[in-house]
Amino acid sequence: MNCVLLAGRHHGLGEGIRALLESMFDKVFMVANQNALLDGAQRLGPEVIVMDVALAEGDAASLLSEIKRRAPRAKVLMLSVHDEPAVTSAMVAAGADGVVFTRAIATDLLSAVDSVCAGGRFVSAAPLGSR
């Protein structure tokens, strides 16, 4: 695959995710704020955008809408520390193609990328206590 845009504020976590994504993509671009994310989405035309939901400054739904407007073909995977079903449902309803819980990045991220690139959706499994 060609290009992925990785957006998040946590440098250490971002480097680990970048290493995973480099096994699938020719180019992995990293950004650390909302403005750079929106600019990169428009300029780079990535196949996939992997975004930490914490990067959204308040309204993740509005940010997702703007990302989809600027990069309509990009698949958007949200990374979230929140694994409650209501939060996951809200992200998917807002336009996310998938949601990967931060605790499951190592096991779920590459499967999530494969799934959304094939036209599907992906949501990490909720922990047993929250089902």
Which CATH number is 91's domain given? 3.40.50.2300
Domain that holds residue 28: 3-105+114-123
Joined together, the tokens standing for residue 22 give: 């480099």
Q: How confident is the model at residue 1 (pLDDT cuts 50, 70, 90)?
A: low
Mean pLDDT of 28-33: 95
pLDDT at 95: 93
Identify the band that residue 82 occupies on the pLDDT scale cut at 50, 70 and 90: confident
Number of domains observed in the structure of the chain: 1
Beta bridge partners of 94: none
Residue 130 belongs to some domain of the structure: no
Asked if pLDDT for residue 73 goes beyond 60, the answer is yes
CB 123 within 8 A of CB 54: no
Across 95-118, average pLDDT: 95
| 42 in Cβ contact with 71 (< 8 Å) | yes
**Local confidence band at 131 (pLDDT 50, 70, 90 cut-offs):** very low
